[in-house]
Each structure stands twice: as structure tokens, then as C-alpha cells.
Structure 1
Amino acid sequence: MTASKFLLTAALAGVAIAAPVIEERQSSCASQWSQCGGTNWSGATCCTSGNYCSKVNDFYYQCQPGADPSPTDSLPSSTAGGSEPTGTADPTAAPSGNPFSGVNLWANDYYRSEVSTLAIPKLSGAMATAAAKVAEVPSFQWMDSFDHISLMEDTLVDIKKANDAGGNYAGQFVVYDLPDRDCAAAASNGEYSLDNDGANKYKNYIQTIKKIIQNYSDIRMILVIEPDSLANLVTNMDVQKCANAHDAYLELTDYAVKELNLPNVAMYLDAGHAGWLGWPANQGPAAQLFAGVYKNAGKPASLRGLATNVANYNAWDLSSAPPYTQGNSIYDEKAYIHAMAPLLEQNGWPGVKFITDQGRSGKQPTGQKEWGDWCNAKGTGFGTRPSANTGDSLLDAFVWIKPGGESDGTSDTSAARYDYHCGFDDALQPAPEAGTWFQAYFEQLLTNANPSFL
């Protein structure tokens, strides 16, 4: 359902291909923000002057403004920025109870750079001012490929400097690189395949993250584990790719949770949303699956609970059901988590807590025609700001997990990762590749934000 979440901006791009110097009058070169390369791409591979061709992922290269930056190593040294590894967790970094309490959340430079270099230059007046405010909202940083682990360390270097100067910040990250990832969707296929040693490559990915976390054991870290993976095992076993990945998903999720069970870490397994696993027929099997992961991993202390509504649009608490919820009495995330908590306890996971993504849930109802229309839905807006003040004992925090403005998937039917959901009437179009900056979508979120940024 979700997709590779990162766009390497001119300020942060670590991998790029050089664009040849070609005069602008040569119309064969791609214009700014257009595609200029990628797997199976047959179009222009150069950019008009003043732009360079930057690798976003293997499937998509994009013409971005500026000069081609010098390539950098894909993964910095574990002591980047001068910070030294530490052997044991700082007591203030180890969460006791709600990990969102007693700390400030960090607004990472990656998303700030996307907004400042891609969004704001196309805006003016009140919209530009409002966009600058969005850039300062703490959102999760996605490690959706091995190369993007370096962005985690970049952020931790920044947090350490701030904390050494008297701050008290925690980092928020998404672990998202399972082999044959997102088995029921095409838009978000990842870099690893089970047929090409993907399991061992994923274990190396986890070990690399683990070492970085251990090197910054004085910083509290909050992790969301593998969006969409376990939920697909509940509802999509009729999809051959999901059936084939079933055992590997469970084995590797178990591996990730065990290896990342560290003193300064709090983890939340992704648990879909009300419109996915909230249906009566899905709640029981979902609770059995999630509780099974918890027990099979040895009931790790760092596994705090479940994350819901990741990259989706559901409200936290509604007084009436939107028409596209199709008669389900569980039509918001509050009802969903209160339905799931007792079932999880019955299956051997007591005391489960939740977080819910409200980054794109500000406008209700949305423009969705069907509840399962997940791709770049029309009629959405930025929602409730991240906060541990939830007023609900089951909910640890409102969070922004999906970076608002990054595309869910391309509407180009000829693209290798085209998913038909991205071509529906209720999906904003034309849309670029998943993870690529989608200016029109950002502006929609900003215009419809509730509370407003304007």
C-alpha cells in the first residue's frame, strides 16, 4: 500500500548520475522535476540546463534544480560528526512507560529540506509561510533501502549535538525493507527479493541499523516496524506473492524485533488501519498474528505496541461514519484500537499501546470513493500535530509517520511500478513515482490542514 518514501533532494542526494551539458534549446532533454532515467526507462536521460539527473531509486531518476553534487559514500562512518560510540544506554534515553513522554520529537533535516527546496520555491505569500511551518513538524524518517540508513545516522548526529547543548530530543524512524515488500501492491516494491538472497540481505540491513542505534545509545529512538507487511498476511493470502512471502515475513519480522530490542528503543509493529483490519472478520486473525509475533520474539521489552493508519487518511475520532466506510461500525482509529486491545490480551499480549498516524487525516471525510483507495487520495489535509497528549490511555501519541508531500505511487500506466489504485478517479493525478516529491499533493494537504497552518 505504501511506497518507497524518500526523494533525495539536491541538498541531501548521495547518489546521482551526471547530466551531460546540453543547451536548453535541445528539446530531447527532460525538464525540471521530470523523469530522466530508471529501470526500463526509454525516455530522455539528460536534463535541461540548470538541472541535474538525480537517482531517487532504481526505477526513477528525476531532474532536480542545481548543479550535480559530488557523490558521497552510501553509509557514513559510525562515528560521523565526531560522536563516539557508547557501550550502555543513558538512563534518560531508556523509555519507562510512554516513550513519547518526557522528550521532544526531532524535526529531521531530510523532510525540512524537501519542503524548503522543493515546495516553498513554488509557493508565495501565506502559502509559503505556512509551508515553512510544516517543515518544522516532527515526522518519522524512513529507511526504505540500505542506502537510506545513512540518513538515520545524519539525523542522530544532529540530535546528539542538540542534546549535548541541553536538548532532550528523541528520533523517529521507520524500518521498511523486507524482501518482496508490500506483496499486494506494485507501487512500493523494494530492493530485496527472496529469490535473490533477500533474507540475508535484510538481516545485514537490520544489523547495520542495530550498530548505529548502539553507537547512539544516549538517544531515545522510536521505531515503526515494516508498514503493511503483517497486515497483508491477514487479508491477502490469495495473492501469490504474499503467500510465497508468508514464512519469510514472519521470520524476518521476528529477527528485526529481537535484534532491535535495545534499552534506548521503543518499537511499534505496523497494524494496518480501521478500514483494513478493523472489519469484524479480520480483527481476530490480526490479533492472533500480532500476539504471535510478540510471543515468538520472546516478549521483548522494547516492543511497546502497534502503529495504525500509517500513510492512510482515517480520523482518530468521528461522530458519524463517512460513506466510504461501507457500514463498518469501526470507522475511525479510536474504535479500531479499542476493539483490538482486548483481543490482543486474550491472545497473550497484555498491556499493548498504540500510536496513530494523523499526518494526512485533517480533512474528513476525504475524497475517497472506496475505503481501500490508498493512493494519493483527493480531499485530504494535514492533521493533528504530533503529541503525547492524547486523552486516551491506550494511545501513546498522535504522530506523523508518512511524510506529507511524498507520492504514494505513479499514475503513469507505462511505469514499471504502476499500481492501478493510482489511476482511480479519486487519486490526484498526474502523480510521480512513489517517494518522489508531489507538489500538487503537498499543496492540497496544506490547503486542507486541520488545524490550519495558514
Structure 2
Amino acid sequence: MPPAARRPRFRTTAPVLGLLALLAAAPACGGEPAPEPGTPAASPAAPSPVVASEESPFWVDPRSDAARQVAAWEAAGRNSDAQVLRRIADRPLTLWGPGDDPGPEIRRARAGARATGRTLLLAAYNIPYRDCGQHSAGGAPDARAYRSWIGAFADNIEDTKAVVVLEPDAIAHIIDGCTRPEHHAERYQLLSEAVDRLKKNRNTKVYLDAGNPAWIPNPMDLVDPLFKAGLARADGFALNVSNFQPDAAARAYGAKISKGTSGKHFVIDTSRNGDGPLPGDRAQAWCNPPGRALGTPPTDRTGDPLVDAYLWVKRPGESDGTCRGGPSAGTWWPDYALGLARRARD
């Protein structure tokens, strides 16, 4: 199944949340095994393979919702819109592993990545009690189920070059009080085990999610929780997943966390931060905010020695949830995608 929803990235209060389906959001997440993104208007033919530009080492999925939408619009004569949407379709997007069985989708993506000699981008989003019951609520029913799921997730990557963003929101939801105290120890244990399991794959890099500058104001509050979750054995941490904080703000925030973690590197989600966050209502700024734009295209050429890559973790065009007229979290929303692409500067 295609990627799922992505959850909210900024919270002003504590309790009350859930998860993404990893795949789902990512960034607005989708619960359960996250909701499946809607299928774009009938695609007349399978899109042709896409090869990433030389500026990016990451794999481009020729069967993403955006790619199929481009094919559908071209068939319908909407060539101008299709050309604009290629700003999403022709770029590397992170695959959120389906919450029921991640195997088939990861195998499909693995084959594509190997055929093109590119690196696979993945997000694991299925932790129990995900998103505290909100738009992306769901996740594995218990610790045993999660261990089985993350095992299948890792097994199907094999020795393919891959970057995995591990459990968006999971740590920040502990810090902000959303995840209930009785679940904290188990969550840290599961995250730590997940890092170890994924790192058994010799070509897999793992980045633990660490929220964003607007969510956990003091970056030092993340240091100890990140280490409890296995940061010492991971490649680093991830910032701004499914959020809209500017690159500069994320870099400055990440540099402080890096200093507190003895120099750990990080990746930044730049999928929708081209115009920064929505001014005004900060409590709802994370959910399908209008007027936003695509950010820096995915690349490992960041110009910052601490930033390993700019990634599109949240898949542009997937809804954050049923707010502002959007469909359920993780569902493909063509009009929103087109708006993000039209306002992009690159």
C-alpha cells in the first residue's frame, strides 16, 4: 500500500494523540495501519521509470500518487497542471511502511532503488499508542506486534542502501506529556530495539525523530530521551517531519541538539517549508495550512557538516487530517499538492 498519513508536528497542550500509519503522514499520520492514500484519477497507463537528478542520490518512485496524478492529468489534457505537479512527482519521496504488512511495498521500492543504483527513503511509523489518538492514531496493538512489524520492515530492506526515519512524534510525545507515563519505558525500549534491528542491515542509516523547533522549545529537553531511545547506536536524528519550520530554524535547533549529543548529525524534512509555518493560529498551523510551498528538494548536498540530508519525509500532497476541508490523514489530495507545487521556488 502507498504511504500513509502524517501526524501533527506542533502541539500546545499535552494529552490526546495517536499515530500515522506510516506511513501516513509522516509527517499528519494515519492511525491503525494508517489509511491508504486515495488513488488519483484513473491513471491511463503505468508511468515510465523516473531517474533522480544528479543532485540527489535518492530513489524516485515512478508509481507514487503524484506520478499517477501527472499521468492522469496529461491524459485528460491538463498538461499545464501536470507539468507543475512534476515538481513533486519527479523527486524522491519517503515511503512510509504500511502498518499491516510492510513487506510488499518495501520489496517493490527496494527493487526500484537497486535497479537505478539509488538510496531508498523510508519512514517507520507504527509504534503502539501512536499520535495519542488524534488524526494519525493507531499503530501496533502491543509491543510484541511492534517487534514483529519492525522485524519485517528491516528484513525486507535487506542490504539495499536505505535511510530510515524512525517513529515520527514518538519521542516528542513523551516529552510533551501526550503519551501516558505508564507507556514511556516500553516506548523507549521498543525504539532502542528498533534501532538495533535496523542497524543489523549494513547499508541502512537510522535517524530517530526529534520533533521540531516549534514543538519542544528547549532542544536540550530532547537529549536524554534520544539516548534512551538508542541514539548512541543510530546515525542521528530527524527534525521537522511533517512540519513547516524554515531550514535555518531547523539547522540552528539541530546544532544545539548535536552539541548536546556529542556531535550527532541530523536530517531535515523540507517537504512543505518553502514559505515557513502559517502565521496566526499556532495550535492548528500544522494541519493542512493554506498558502504553503514545497521546500528545498531532497539532497545530501546541504552545505552544513551536521546536516546529512534534506528529505521530503512527509509526502507533499497527502492530507494531515480532516481539517480545513481535507480528507483523512495520509490520503492523496491533488488540489493541495498542486498548490504546494505552484508556490515552490525550485
Please, what TM-score do these two structures have when normalized by structure 1? 0.62
Q: What corresponds to 2:343 in structure 1?
A: 448
Offset at residue 126 of structure 1 (A): 2.7
* Separation in structure 2 between the aligned mates of residue 339 and residue 310 of structure 1, nearest angstrom: 18
Q: What corresponds to 2:202 in structure 1?
A: 263
Question: 1:98-136, CA deviations, whole angstroms, 9 ceiling, x for partnerless residues?
Answer: xxx997210123425454367767882432212124201
2:229 to 293, 314, 318: 293
Paired residues of 2:96 and 2:123 also in contact (CA < 8 A):
yes
* Separation in structure 1 between the aligned mates of residue 340 and residue 215 of structure 2, nearest angstrom: 23
Paired residues of 2:38 and 2:332 also in contact (CA < 8 A):
no
What is the aligned residue count? 311
Question: 1:421-450, CA deviations, whole angstroms, 9 ceiling, x for partnerless residues?
Answer: x3xxxxxx2110011111221122012112
Distance 1:221 1:334, change over 3 A: same
Distance 1:352 1:176, change over 3 A: same
Matched to 1:105, the amino acid is F
Matched, 1:334 2:251: yes
Secondary structure, in 3 states, of the residue corresponding to 2:205?
strand
Q: What corresponds to 1:149 in structure 2?
A: 103
* Separation in structure 2 between the aligned mates of residue 109 and residue 368 of structure 1, nearest angstrom: 37
Distance 1:123 1:447, change over 3 A: farther
Offset at residue 249 of structure 1 (A): 1.2
- After superposition, residues 151-300 of structure 1 pair within 5 angstroms as 151-162=105-116, 168-183=117-132, 185-193=133-141, 198-214=142-158, 217=159, 219-236=160-177, 239=178, 241-261=179-199, 262-277=201-216, 279-280=217-218, 283-294=219-230, 299-300=232-233
Question: 1:335-394, CA deviations, whole angstroms, 9 ceiling, x for partnerless residues?
Answer: 2112212222xxxxx230011011101114535531663111112111111112212111
Distance 1:201 1:159, change over 3 A: same
* Separation in structure 2 between the aligned mates of residue 226 and residue 433 of structure 1, nearest angstrom: 20
Distance 1:364 1:284, change over 3 A: closer
Paired residues of 1:107 and 1:138 also in contact (CA < 8 A):
yes
Matched, 1:135 2:89: yes
1:105 to 58, 65, 68: 58
* Separation in structure 2 between the aligned mates of residue 203 and residue 247 of structure 1, nearest angstrom: 15
Distance 1:176 1:139, change over 3 A: same
Q: What corresponds to 1:311 in structure 2?
A: 242
Matched to 2:149, the amino acid is Y
Matched to 1:271, the amino acid is A
Secondary structure, in 3 states, of the residue corresponding to 1:254?
helix
Gaps in structure 2 of 5+ consecutive residues: 1-6, 9-19, 25-30, 44-53
Gaps in structure 1 of 5+ consecutive residues: 8-38, 40-55, 68-100, 163-167, 318-331, 345-349, 411-421, 423-428
Matched, 1:386 2:317: no
* Separation in structure 1 between the aligned mates of residue 250 and residue 305 of structure 2, nearest angstrom: 14
Which fold has the larger relative contact order, with Cα–Cα distance below 8 Å and residues 6 or more apart in sequence? 2
Matched to 1:398, the amino acid is Y
Structure exhibiting the larger radius of gyration computed from Cα positions: 1
- After superposition, residues 82-93 of structure 1 pair within 5 angstroms as none
Distance 1:59 1:383, change over 3 A: closer
Matched to 1:294, the amino acid is G
Paired residues of 2:274 and 2:345 also in contact (CA < 8 A):
yes
- After superposition, residues 354-365 of structure 1 pair within 5 angstroms as 354-364=266-276
Paired residues of 1:177 and 1:192 also in contact (CA < 8 A):
yes
Question: 1:60-107, CA deviations, whole angstroms, 9 ceiling, x for partnerless residues?
Answer: 89687559xxxxxxxxxxxxxxxxxxxxxxxxxxxxxxxxx9972101
* Separation in structure 2 between the aligned mates of residue 6 and residue 118 of structure 1, nearest angstrom: 24
